[in-house]
Amino acid sequence: MSTLYISDLDGTLLNKDARLSKRSAEIINGLIRKGMLFTVATARSLSCVKILDELNLKLPCVQLNGVLIYDFAKASYIDCTPIRTQSAREVLRILRKYDRTSFVYKVDDEYGIHVEFEKLRNEPERNFFEARRNSDYKSFSRIDNIQVKESDKVIYFTMVDTYARLSPIHREIEMTGGVRSTLYSDNYSDLYYLEIFSSEASKAGGMLRIKEMLKADRTVAFGDNLNDLDMLKNADTAVAVADAREKVKAAADVVIGSSYEDGVAEFLLKEML
């Protein structure tokens, strides 16, 4: 029986410094060499590829919470789930109501990611922009009045702020057809992320697509935050790290060591013995 093991990154496989420990890399690489089917599912885009340079990942991975599927072997995207035009326009209308257009991700036919924003409204947004503005996997453009054209492939909206400021937007977005959203705490600060994407995309959907590609018999998923819940609920075995959110641990079949104790790698080592 073949098993696909799939792990969230931040707060799960990565430690609190957003790094993969040397021990985790050694264990996982050794198990991959022995035939373990292992990959990741993350809210990140191509930045995860650089973070995981030390891992010899061969399988496709889930990015942007299921919007994109990236193939490490081909070094390219193989699947994309954009937001339907009318739904993207409705999301933009709601965000304008709250003066929060924030960051709008669009993708071209080559899977190049272009991020548009109108203005940086607070320090978290400025920090988000500064940390990513020089990346070689996405471009940023300040636009006076962002529009969604019929030819646009809008794949993602993201914003970072306090829970109090983002939760009203989240509630209204949840009532909008064609999209789903996730509101979850940042692993490295007391801020929250609100991310909006197609209702046809999810970490769970990405996991199941990869399972089907590999013709695997079962899945074991690892997570720590609220945006991992759908993946855990759709896995054959749901695993939460010890420092996961309480709601995530309650949904898990197994709770393992924390992200800073190489919990995922140690669990995999025992599984594969």
97-113 confidence digits (pLDDT tens)? 998 888 999 998 877 89
Specify the CATH number of the domain 85-198: 3.30.1240.10
- Selected from 3.30.565.10, 3.40.50.1000, 2.60.40.10, 3.30.1280.10, the CATH number assigned to the domain covering 3-80+202-272 reads 3.40.50.1000
Neighbouring CB atoms inside 10 A of 254's CB total 12
Question: What residue ranges do the domains of the chain occupy?
Answer: 3-80+202-272, 85-198
> What tokens appear for 269 in the block?
């080592």
Mean pLDDT of 138-160: 94
* pLDDT (0 to 100) of residue 151: 94
Q: Which residues 6+ apart lie within 8 Å of 169 measured at CB? A: 94, 95, 98, 100, 159, 194
Task: Read off the pLDDT of residues 170-210 as tens digits, 9 standing for 90 and up.
Answer: 999 999 999 999 999 988 889 999 999 999 999 999 999 99
pLDDT at 84 over 90: yes
Which pLDDT band, with edges at 50, 70 and 90, does 273 fall under? confident
pTM over the 0.95 mark: no
Q: From CA 224, how far away is CA 229, in angstroms rounded?
A: 8
Q: What is the mean pLDDT of the chain?
A: 93
pLDDT at 136 over 90: no
- Residues belonging to the chain: 273
Task: Read off the pLDDT of residues 151-173 as tens digits, 9 standing for 90 and up.
Answer: 999 999 999 999 999 999 999 99
* pLDDT (0 to 100) of residue 15: 86
